Amino acid sequence: MTIQTIYTGELRTQATHLASQNTIITDAPLDNNGKGEAFSPTDLLAASLGSCMLTIMGIAANTHGFSIDGTKISITKIMAANPRRVGEIIINFSFPANIYSDKERLLIEKAAASCPVALSLHPDLKQTINLNW
């Protein structure tokens, strides 16, 4: 998989997924000299973590014959200083109904913990995951 990214000026980039030609624009956030008109690169990091967890949960659910369709997440990114970095990502999962067995809940929890993005992040980045059944 190849991504081509172009700096378009004024602290903005445009990344293109070459296989699909889908694009994502990033903008520096307001608190870092940007316009804040699009996702910042660190916003994409937080979104990537949440999307990865949902994807791995979906794979586990499909494999075991149940669904997580309609599950929503709310993601909060907390920045840290010295050096400026993402210090914590808080993800609140809201499942569509309280229909999961104990076994299914365990499968969902294990899937979230095995997300490749989560496992790729530095251990100093705190990942707070709340599963609201």
89 and 126 Cβ atoms separated by less than 8 Å = yes
Q: Quote the pLDDT of residue 124.
A: 95
The rounded distance, in Å, linking the Cα atoms of 130 and 125 is: 16
pLDDT in tens, 10-19: 999 999 999 9
Average model confidence (pLDDT) for the chain? Answer: 96
Q: pTM score > 0.95 for this model?
A: no
The 10 Å Cβ neighbour count of residue 49 is 25
Contacts of 75 (CB under 8 A, 6+ apart): 46, 47, 49, 50, 89, 90, 91, 92
| Assigned token pair, 20 | 């699909």
pLDDT in tens, 24-57: 999 999 989 999 999 999 999 999 999 999 999 9
- Per CATH, which fold does 40-132 belong to? GMP Synthetase; Chain A, domain 3 (3.30.300)
